[in-house]
Structure 1
Amino acid sequence: MNFIISVFSESWNLLLEASVYILFGILVGGLLKVFLSPATVARHLGEGRFTSVFKAAILGIPIPLCSCGVLPAAVSLKKQGANSGATTAFLISTPESGADSIAITYALMDPIMTVARPVAAFFTAITAGLTENLLHAPGHGKNQVTADLSCTVDGCCDGIDCPPEVHKHHHSFAEKLGAGLRFALSDLWGDMACWFLLGVILGGFITVLVPEELMIMYLGGGLLSMLVMLAVGIPLYICATASTPIAAALILKGVSPGAVLVFLLVGPATNVTSLTVLFGILGKRATAIYLTTIALFSVGFGLILDQVYMGFGLSAQAVAGQASEMIPYSARLAGAAILLILSVKPLYLGLKSFFIKTSHDHHHHSDEASPASPLSPFKTPECRSST
């Protein structure tokens, strides 16, 4: 019982530290959805080896989509004419960063890590995108993009029969603001709530269970630490926001900031499901470039980051979470309460979906095992990636 109380206590502390910042992050994400739709931006990503990649990388930084959530957006960009380099850059910078994950990194860690995370994501995305476009130059003229100009507020028009200059008078700023807030607090948080709370609980487990000496011994810095984190992060599915409480717990246990950065970059950008879909969207070469660039740059930036902390004589362990102390306890408590209230519906739907899937799987296997049973009308459920 003491163990459970300790885990709950550590998880609760992580939630308190992150609450106000993550609320701010998801609100920014909701406004980006209304005022800066990725589909609308697609028209900028079709032509040019260099400018399209730069635009895709920079636009991906604030958009809060995880590694599986970014896939439909990338498919949309590709179908609308975005070249492979721009699509690759968007696929890297978007899940590795985001307004929400930047805010929570500042809350749970420190300003250096907060800056290092999007900077590393940006340069990784630029390199992968340019490499893809230099090896396979995008077409000129034939890849002209047709932007999706449909209304992001309430779908009132498609932007074709109703041109943008006409549609801009349909909704006031207040209506757009309201639509962005509704999206942030329902859809956006709904997509990440289960994963984030799981990350908070895992962070609590790590804080209570894992011996500090073990972490320092194997993950205290150096190339081996980076490679271990690389091996852990590549197959793992975890979104940028959910990975942050785990990373904060690792920092507090003595893991080097560079090794934690590798985890923060690789975990959200790669997993078995997303790599499989990438293979279908972009092909073998682009997928290989994607994975190789992420691996090399995450390790490289991890080694550089360790040197930065050493050079300034800073301890990531000592300064972790100091930003949250600037927020009054009452505000942190209110933020945590709001997040938990907003999480009730997503948690209920997530658990319901899990149990239904488990029940279907059980019945399916039972039918297969029974020689007298008729052929099951259900096919084996496909693995579906959660956003």
Structure 2
Amino acid sequence: MALLYQFFTALWELTGAMAPYILFGLFFAGILHEWLPENFIRKHLGGDTIFSVLKSTLFGIPLPVCSCGVIPLAASLKKEGASRGSVLSFLISTPITGIDSILATFGMFGWIFTIYRVVTSIVIAFIAGIVSNIVGERGDKDPAGSSASPIRPASFRADPPAPGQAGGACGCDGGCGAEAERGFSFFEAMRYGFVTLMGDIAKPLFWGLLIGAAITVAIPENIGEWLSGYTWLGYLLVIAIAVPMYVCATASLPIAASLVLSGVSLGAAFVFLSAGPATNTVTIGVVRKMLGSRSLIVYLATIVGGSLLFGLGLDLFFDTMQIDPRSVVHMEEHGGWATLLASVILWGLMLRFLLPPLFRRKRRCEGEEDSCCTKG
């Protein structure tokens, strides 16, 4: 009984530390999505120059697209003529961070760690893009996957078909990707943030909170002393778990916080936050098919190598400054009414998507497949 109480206490503390920042991030993500036109992305990511790689990296940092939504978007970019390097850097920088994840990182780890996470994500993605443009194009035929028709991701708006026109923006009969200009809609912005995007992250966030609470309760308090003599082992274990695992940037935060509070080094937790959202078994297969085997090697080598290098640098910094890494994690301020309300709202939103038979009706997309349907 005491163990169960500790579990739910840890779960509530994790929720309280993240909820206000996640909700604000979803709000801002909806505004950003509605404000940016769809063709803005494709327009600026073509070519194989260093500048195009840098733009794709920087644009992917705040973009509110999770690691599942970035795959069809990257496929569409490749079809529109974006270089391997631009596509690869976009594939890396976008899932690692997002406006909701950045704000949640700030709320849980503070501004120094947040800036470090964003800057290192830019460096890793940029290096991967540049190296991919250098070695990926040389003697490498276009993979079969790059000639496939673009897939319209759920994160893009899909306007309804015009009267008398079958398919509209979803149909690919000469009009795929074309959509009429329209003004800013606050309702659509909120619908994207709290319905579409929340629907993407609800399940991994739910499991991330549960796993984080379980780690807090289950891991022995003296694990930090054991790992202090085998720092390299902690890095290898985290990499082995993070690379094949599917976890979004926001859902990885409670797991990382619980690892740090349990005595695992902050650098190892950073490795999980960097490598976990950027890689998973699905994305690995897509990168190989869409960009080729050389780009896949670059993709994995830069993520793993960069995460380990920057994780080690973070541990060296805190060790030199003689700062306790556990003091970085902010989870004690969870008793205010605003935090309480935000926690209740966040759990309500998660349960809405985790229990669809009770809270929502199944939608049907008339005349087209599910790829043209907007989630929620």
Shift of 1:156: 7.4
Higher helix share: 1
1:291 is matched with which residue?
300
Question: Contact (CA 8 Å) 1:39, 1:73: kept in 2 or not?
Answer: no
**Cα distance in 1 for residues equivalent to 2:43 and 2:356:** 36
Question: Contact (CA 8 Å) 2:203, 2:350: kept in 1 or not?
Answer: yes
Q: Could you say if the C-alpha distance between residues 295 and 319 of structure 1 is closer, same or farther in structure 2, counting changes exceeding 3 Å? A: closer
* Aligned partner of 2:242 among 227, 233, 254: 233
Amino acid at match of 1:266: A
1:1-387 correspondence runs (5 A): 1-36=1-36, 40-136=40-136, 152=157, 154=159, 168=181, 170-171=182-183, 173=184, 175=185, 177-218=186-227, 222-321=231-330, 325=333, 329-349=336-356
TM-score (norm 1): 0.79
TM-score (norm 2): 0.81
Shift of 1:123: 0.4
Question: Contact (CA 8 Å) 2:66, 2:200: kept in 1 or not?
Answer: no
Shift of 1:187: 0.8
**Cα distance in 2 for residues equivalent to 1:196 and 1:220:** 32
1:378 is matched with which residue?
none
Point out where structure 1 has 5 or more consecutive residues left out of the alignment.
139-145, 353-385
**Cα distance in 1 for residues equivalent to 2:73 and 2:195:** 19
Question: Contact (CA 8 Å) 1:49, 1:137: kept in 2 or not?
Answer: no
Once the two structures are overlaid, the 10-residue window that deviates more, 109-118 or 86-95, is 109-118
Shift of 1:236: 1.1
SS of 2:258's equivalent?
A: helix
Amino acid at match of 2:94: T
Point out where structure 2 has 5 or more consecutive residues left out of the alignment.
139-149, 163-167, 360-374
Amino acid at match of 1:132: S
Percent of aligned pairs with the same amino acid: 37
Instruction: Report how many aligned residue pairs link the two structures.
Output: 335
What is the aligned-residue RMSD (CA, Å)?
Answer: 2.9
Question: Contact (CA 8 Å) 1:43, 1:82: kept in 2 or not?
Answer: no
SS of 1:63's equivalent?
A: coil
Shift of 1:64: 2.6
Shift of 1:311: 2.7
Question: Contact (CA 8 Å) 1:88, 1:129: kept in 2 or not?
Answer: yes
Q: Which string of whole-angstrom CA distances, capped at 9 and with x for unpartnered residues, describes residues 47-92 of structure 1?
A: 1420110001001101132322211111111111111000000000
Amino acid at match of 2:110: D
Amino acid at match of 2:258: A
Question: Contact (CA 8 Å) 1:34, 1:153: kept in 2 or not?
Answer: no
Q: Which string of whole-angstrom CA distances, capped at 9 and with x for unpartnered residues, describes residues 240-261 of structure 1?
A: 1111001011111121111111
Once the two structures are overlaid, the 10-residue window that deviates more, 30-39 or 87-96, is 30-39
Amino acid at match of 1:46: G
Shift of 1:231: 1.4
SS of 1:290's equivalent?
A: helix
Amino acid at match of 2:260: I
